């Protein structure tokens, strides 16, 4: 059975290794939005499919028997397309989505909002030296902060000219508690903005903020598409795929 793995996350790479090791034919698909992505084992395709119809055609033409959507928790567009394409073609689909941070101790004290614009507005009421970690693609939502110091951390450079008062760090996790504590302290950060991405690679910033008493604003993640089974770890996703393989 061929498996299409919609990836770009650490969980997707780990799952690809498990499935390829089990002898399955796995094609990993990356959106191509990161210039130097970490690549999984096995064949990799990069770029979009051309919407729902294009993805459906790829599933049919490629003879795929199962799809795992292991994209980022905020990749609502491709997740929705995958659900629609799999429904149209009858190809089984599972969503591998790591647990979020809502169950963290102290998460109830965070300010939870629905989008980055609301995060920006909430942060303006809290502090004046923000640390923005909500991603490069929506960084321009904070463009009006040209009158203050802003610390922004992204993997790839912004595609627009940020204000002169900003400091942009180009790096990717994992980050340690010690390093995050030094960063927040040295920049005198007084509000942290993040998305509910979950996972351990970037969670240390929340630990540091909690320890330092820095308020946190969190953008809620979008819900999974209706009717799609969701698992939250690689082992469960592997069991699902191997079960689908045994039924074909």
What was the pLDDT predicted at 243? Answer: 86
What is the average pLDDT value for the chain, to the nearest integer?
93
User: What's the pLDDT band for 127 if we cut at 50, 70, 90?
Assistant: very high
What are φ and ψ of residue 195, in 5° steps? Answer: -100, 155
Token pair belonging to 202? 């970037």
Give the pLDDT confidence of 20-40 residue by residue, as tens digits: 999 999 999 998 665 566 778
Nearest partner of 202 among 149, 137, 132, judged by Cα: 132
Cis peptide bond prior to 174, omega within 30° of 0: yes
176-182 contacts: CB < 8 A, separation 24 or more? Answer: 176/204, 177/204, 177/207, 177/208, 177/211, 179/204, 180/204, 180/205, 180/207, 180/208, 181/208, 181/211, 181/212
* Domains of the chain by start residue, with CATH: 2-99+222-247 (3.40.50.11190), 107-219 (3.40.50)
Give the pLDDT confidence of 180-214 residue by residue, as tens digits: 999 999 999 999 999 999 988 899 999 999 999 99
Tell me the sheet residues that pair with 131: 151, 192
> What Rg do the C-alpha atoms of the chain give, in angstroms?
19
More confident residue, 80 or 37: 80
- Torsion, Cα of 46, 51, 57, 58 (10° steps): 20
pLDDT for residue 4 is more than 70: yes
Nearest 5°: the CA angle 193, 207, 14 is 85
């Amino acid at each position: 059975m061929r498996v299409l793995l919609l990836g770009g996350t650490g969980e997707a790479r780990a799952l690809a290794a498990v499935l390829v090791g089990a002898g399955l034919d796995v094609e990993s698909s990356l959106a191509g939005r990161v210039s130097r992505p970490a690549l999984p084992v096995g064949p990799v395709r990069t770029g979009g499919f051309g919407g729902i119809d294009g993805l459906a055609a790829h599933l049919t033409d490629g003879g795929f028997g199962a799809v795992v959507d292991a994209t980022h928790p905020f990749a609502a567009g491709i997740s929705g397309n995958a659900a629609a394409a799999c429904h149209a073609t009858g190809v089984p689909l599972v969503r591998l989505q790591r647990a979020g941070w809502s169950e963290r101790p102290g998460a109830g004290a965070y300010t939870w909002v629905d989008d980055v614009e609301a995060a920006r507005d909430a942060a303006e009421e809290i502090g004046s030296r923000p640390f923005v970690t909500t991603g490069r693609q929506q960084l321009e939502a904070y463009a009006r902060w040209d009158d203050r110091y802003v610390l922004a951390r992204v993997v790839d450079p912004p595609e627009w000219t940020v204000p002169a008062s900003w400091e942009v760090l180009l790096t990717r996790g994992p980050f340690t508690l010690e390093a995050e504590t030094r960063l927040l302290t040295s920049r005198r950060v007084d509000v942290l903005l993040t998305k509910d991405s979950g996972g351990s690679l970037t969670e240390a910033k929340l630990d540091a903020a909690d320890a330092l008493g820095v308020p946190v604003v969190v953008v809620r993640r979008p819900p999974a598409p209706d009717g799609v089974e969701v698992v939250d770890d690689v082992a469960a996703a592997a069991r699902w795929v191997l079960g689908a393989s045994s039924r074909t």
